[in-house]
């Protein structure tokens, strides 16, 4: 019974968090955004005391429910482990092993040091939610979007506007590589040893494990009923039940209830600790030896299949774009070939409005990629710089930070990007437009262009005579630094290619205009 409840809840959470990474329309975040904000490391980074206390209390009461239900990486591992167990004779493949305390606490200590020291690469590499987020956004999201595009294709053919197609691209190869590596490591460990990753590497697991030793409810043997058949130990994916000594390592138990379900004799109980006694007397439940295989592992199969699809996707990775041909001798019609814009090397990276600047972003971001997935304008992508590795930064060659959109600020679970309104955003200067005169089409092509000026939402760009004193002078843009908010409309819509003639340099600290 408990196991079924656990599995249902875990499925709900896993699906919810996963969908957050898939949805690009901004609708799900309103209903399910809290699922990301409930994650442990994001809550710590957001200094969300309430959530941290809630999770601590939850663990002190019921053990590591967090690891079994809330943590998407944990549930992912259960899925992999479950798949592994379906192989013949592998269902009961576990056995007790002593805790690798030096490794666990070593990693935790390192993690805390890194957190305090602000070495965010290490923090985000180890944060289980971040690890899962990178997997979801790099593998699942492209597949989801391709499927959406297929639907959009059909919907276009029946004149329906229900689905619209969306760009699919790998936003950062380093981050993609990291996701592949972690998928391999975590997946391999889960395939072989169940929750080994959670109990040896994961700092959240170690931290909550430390608390769960003292939890009120916990597993306990009923020594009178136990026949020492070893069944529970063989089924324990945390390898924390030692039947020989009749002990359970509560720091590693993730309260999955598999042992209770497995025990035919009702010898395993989940009950409040009677202080001073070693076991609970009255089992609250768990008498029913139901084999709960009803709950299918659609989630797990899905992640595997999607991982495969992601590889296929890689192969076909180049975004298909209508191949336009160069126009032959002065015919009418056709389309001029337009080069793709290239990313401009910026001295200061641009980070989204609401993040208050590079420093705040660096300190609070766990690089989960939720904002990157959510950005409807294809601006956010993970950084490739070591200090801010995998954390989001902006670039405007595919779109610009549109005035009506504050999506990233609302999805961010760690408070790295604080929630803002569209009105707030219109007054936050995240960067400053810089004009490059020798790339400007006014100079290169000798035509009058006013696209940057016309699209500037704050009126920061105006046009002045290039050749003062001549009445027929072409006009070139000038930027009012006091008004520019760095939204990138000018850069994105600039006709100069591949490098825009006006581009945005980030502000180290955002300021109000």
Partner 1 sequence: MMEKKKSNSDKMGRRSFLKTLGAGSVATTAALSGCKPSGGGGASGGTALAEVPTDKMTYRVSPTTGDRVSLLGYGCMRWPLRQKADGSGEEIDQDAVNELVDYAIAHGVNYFDTAPVYVRGWSETATGIALKRHPRDKFFIATKMSTHRDDPQLRSFEGSRAMYEQSFRNLQVDYIDYYLLHGVGIGGMAPLRERFYDNGMLDFLIKERALGRIRNLGWSFHGEQEVFDFLLAEQDAGHVRWDFAQIQLNYIDWKHASGWNINAEYLLGELEKRDIPAVIMEPLLGGRLSRLGSEALHILQEMRPQDSAASWAFRYAGTPESVLTVLSGMVYMEHLQENVRTYSPLVPVNAEENGALEKVAEIMLNADYVQCTECQYCMPCPYGVDIPGVFGHYNRIISAGKRLKSSNDENYRKARRDFLVGYDRNIPKFRQANHCIGCEICKPHCPQTIDIPNEMRRIDVYTEQLKQGVEFSNEQLAIKR
**Which residues make up the interface to partner 1 (CB under 8 A)?**
152, 156-157, 159, 161, 164-165, 321-325, 327-338, 399, 402-404, 441, 445, 447-451, 454-455, 493, 495
Using the minimum distance from each CB to partner 1, give the nearer residue, 184 or 334.
334
Cβ 467 to partner 1, closest distance in Å?
A: 18
**Are the C-beta atoms of 455 and 489 separated by less than 8 Å?**
yes
Q: What is the DSSP string of 422-482?
A: HHHHTTEEEEEEEE-GGG-HHHHT-----HHHHH-TTS-EEEEESSTT-TT--EEEEE-TT
Q: Which of 256, 315, 308, 280 is nearest to 77 (CA)?
A: 256
For partner 1, the closer CB: 272 or 495: 495
Give the separation between CA 124 and CA 118, rounded to whole angstroms: 11
Could you tell me the smallest distance in angstroms from the CB atom of residue 474 to partner 1?
Answer: 10
Nearest by Cα to 413 from 475, 371, 457, 468: 371
Q: How far is the CB of 374 from partner 1 (least distance, A)?
A: 17
Q: Which residue has the tokens 């004193």?
A: 469
Judge residue 417's burial from the number of C-beta atoms within 10 Å of its C-beta, 0-12 exposed, 13-18 middle, 19 or more buried: buried
Tokens representing 448 are: 């009058």
CB closer to partner 1, 276 vs 333: 333
Phi, psi of 487, deg, nearest 5: -70, -20
Distance CA 49, CA 42 (A): 11
Closer CB to partner 1, 53 or 422, in the complex? 422
Closest approach, Cβ 448 to partner 1, in A, equals 6
Length of the chain: 513
Q: Which is nearer to partner 1, 74 or 399 (CB)?
A: 399
Closest contact distance (angstroms) between CB of 451 and partner 1 is 5
Task: Name which of 224 and 328 has its Cβ closer to partner 1.
Answer: 328
Rounded distance between C-alpha atoms, residue 37 and residue 17, angstroms: 10
In the complex, least distance from residue 329 CB atom to partner 1, rounded to whole angstroms: 6
The smaller minimum CB distance to partner 1, of residues 308 and 327, is found at 327
- Rounded to a whole number of angstroms, the minimum distance from the CB of residue 376 to partner 1 is 11
């Amino acid at each position: 019974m408990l196991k079924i409840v656990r599995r249902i809840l875990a499925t709900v959470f896993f699906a919810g968090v996963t969908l957050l990474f898939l949805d690009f329309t901004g609708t799900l975040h309103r209903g399910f955004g809290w699922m990301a904000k409930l994650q442990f490391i994001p809550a710590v980074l957001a200094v969300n005391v309430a959530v941290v206390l809630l999770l601590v209390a939850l663990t002190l009461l019921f053990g590591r429910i967090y690891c079994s239900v809330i943590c998407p990486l944990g549930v992912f591992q259960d899925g992999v482990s479950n798949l592994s167990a379906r192989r013949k004779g592998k269902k009961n493949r576990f056995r007790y092993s002593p805790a690798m305390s030096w490794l666990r606490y070593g990693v935790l200590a390192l993690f805390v040091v890194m957190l305090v020291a602000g070495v965010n690469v290490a923090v985000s590499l180890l944060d289980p939610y971040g690890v899962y987020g990178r997997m979801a956004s790099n593998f699942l999201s492209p597949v989801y979007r391709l499927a959406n595009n297929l639907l959009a294709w059909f919907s276009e053919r029946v004149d329906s506007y229900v689905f619209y197609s969306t760009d699919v691209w790998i936003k950062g190869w380093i981050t993609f590589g990291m996701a592949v590596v972690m998928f391999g490591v975590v997946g391999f460990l889960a395939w072989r040893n169940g929750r080994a990753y959670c109990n040896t590497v994961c700092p959240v697991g170690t931290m909550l494990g430390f608390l769960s030793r003292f939890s009120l409810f916990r597993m306990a043997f009923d020594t009178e009923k136990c026949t020492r058949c070893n069944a529970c130990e063989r089924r324990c994916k945390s390898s924390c039940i030692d039947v020989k000594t009749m002990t359970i390592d509560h720091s590693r138990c993730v309260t999955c209830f598999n042992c209770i379900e497995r025990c035919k004799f009702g010898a395993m109980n989940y009950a409040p600790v009677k202080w001073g006694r070693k076991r609970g007397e009255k089992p609250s439940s768990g008498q029913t030896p139901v084999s709960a295989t009803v709950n299918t592992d659609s989630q797990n199969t899905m992640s595997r299949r999607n991982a495969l699809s992601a590889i296929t996707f890689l192969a076909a990775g180049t975004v298909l774009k209508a191949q336009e041909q160069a126009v032959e001798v002065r015919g009418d019609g056709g389309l001029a070939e337009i080069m793709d814009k290239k990313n401009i090397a910026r001295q200061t990276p641009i980070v989204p409005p609401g993040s208050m600047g590079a420093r705040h972003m660096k300190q609070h971001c766990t690089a989960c990629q939720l904002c990157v997935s959510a950005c409807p304008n294809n601006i956010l992508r993970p950084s490739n710089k070591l200090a801010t590795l995998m954390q989001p930064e902006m670039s405007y060659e595919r779109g610009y930070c549109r005035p009506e959109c504050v999506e990233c600020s609302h999805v961010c679970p760690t408070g790295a990007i604080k929630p803002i309104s569209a009105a707030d955003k219109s007054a936050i200067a995240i960067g400053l437009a810089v004009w490059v005169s020798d790339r400007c089409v006014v100079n290169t092509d000798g035509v009058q262009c006013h696209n940057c000026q016309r699209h500037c939402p704050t009126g920061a760009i105006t046009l002045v005579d290039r050749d003062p004193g001549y009445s027929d002078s072409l006009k070139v843009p000038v930027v009012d630094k006091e008004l520019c908010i760095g939204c990138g409309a000018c850069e994105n819509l600039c006709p100069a290619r591949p490098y825009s003639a006006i581009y945005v340099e980030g502000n180290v600290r955002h300021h109000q205009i």
